[in-house]
Structures are given as structure tokens and as C-alpha cells.
Structure 1
Amino acid sequence: MANIKSAIKRVDVNNKKRAQNQAAKSDMRSQIKQVEKLVEANDVENAKTALRKTTQTIDKAVQKGLIHKNNGNRQKARLTKKVNGLGA
């Protein structure tokens, strides 16, 4: 364990940030699963609304550095493809 005051503070700050990042990432994953569930149920309107919200969440995660830019783009592309497949 750290003995220096600044090191103790860094540990606390890092733990707090890690908890926030994990919560944001978990929320993003939950939203992705929600969209996939709506696609499975063939619920076009709700899937499109959920996709818009999920896209914003993914973009925010990329912006914060929680996931890589390419990972975010891949997730959005896959979800969009699934949702657009419903309308056809």
C-alpha cells in the first residue's frame, strides 16, 4: 500500500475513475444487447429508437477512451445492419 499522501490520493482517484468507466461500459453493453433483443423480436420502431440511443452511448464511450474508435464503429455498423435488415 502507498505511504505517500499523493500516492494514496492517486489510488483513490484511480479506483473512482475505474468504477465510473466500468459502469459506462456496462451500460453500453446492456444497450447493445437491448437492440439485439428488439431485432430478434422483429420490433422495428423500438429497435430504431434504441439504436439511436445506443449509437450515442457508443460514441461517448469512444470519446472518453473506454473503447477504441474502430471497435465503436464496428459495433455501430453491425447493429445498424441488423436494424436495417428488419425493414427490408
Structure 2
Amino acid sequence: MPQIKSAMKRVKTIASKNLRNTSQRSEMRSTIKKFEVAAEAGSKDTEQLFRNASKAIDMAKSKGLIKPNKAARDKSRLAKLNSK
């Protein structure tokens, strides 16, 4: 445990950021999974789920949760699934 006051503050801010990042990353993964399940099942609402998944990926990229190349790769993979 840190002894310096500023270090104690950093521990608190890092913990809150970690919680927020984990939550947002989990939400992104959930939306992607919902789309993948619907696409495999041949559901009719895949277009809306694809848009939601793409939006979640873009949000995660803009927040710095994932790198730009991973975002592009994931969106490409989902688009390929969507076109089937």
C-alpha cells in the first residue's frame, strides 16, 4: 500500500478507471456475441445487431480500450459473418 498521498489518490483513480474499462469491454464483447449467435442461427434482426456491435467496437476504440487494428479486424470479421 502506498504511503505518499498522491500515490494513494492514484490507486483510487486507477481502480475506478479499471472498473469502467472492464465494464465497457464486457459490454462490447456481449454485443459481439449476441450478433454472432444471431448470425449463426440465421435470425432476421442481424442487421440491427451488426450495427450495435460495430458501434460498440468503435466506442471501445475511441476510448482506447482496444487498438485500432483490432477494431478493424473485428469489424471486418463481423461484416463477413453478416454477408452470409
1:9 maps to amino acid: K
Specify the alignment match of 1:49 in structure 2: 48
RCO (CA 8 Å, sep 6+): is it higher in 1 or 2? Answer: 1
TM-score by length of 1: 0.92
Alignment correspondent of 1:20: 20
Determine helix, strand or coil for the equivalent of 1:18: helix
Aligned-residue offset at 1:4: 1.2
Q: What amino acid is the match of 1:16?
A: S
Structure 1 unaligned regions, length at least 5: none
Q: Determine the C-alpha separation between the residues in 1 that align with 2:73 and 2:43.
A: 22
Q: What is the deviation of 1:33?
A: 0.6
Secondary structure of the equivalent of 2:38?
Answer: helix
Ranges in structure 2 where 5+ consecutive residues have no aligned partner: none
Deviation at 1:35, TM superposition (A): 0.4
RMSD between aligned residues: 0.7
TM-score (norm 2): 0.96
Kindly provide the CA deviation profile for residues 63-82 of structure 1, in whole angstroms up to 9, marking residues without a partner as x. Answer: 11100101001101111111
Q: Does 1:62 align with 2:30?
A: no
Runs of 4+ with >6 A deviation: none
Paired residues in the alignment total: 84
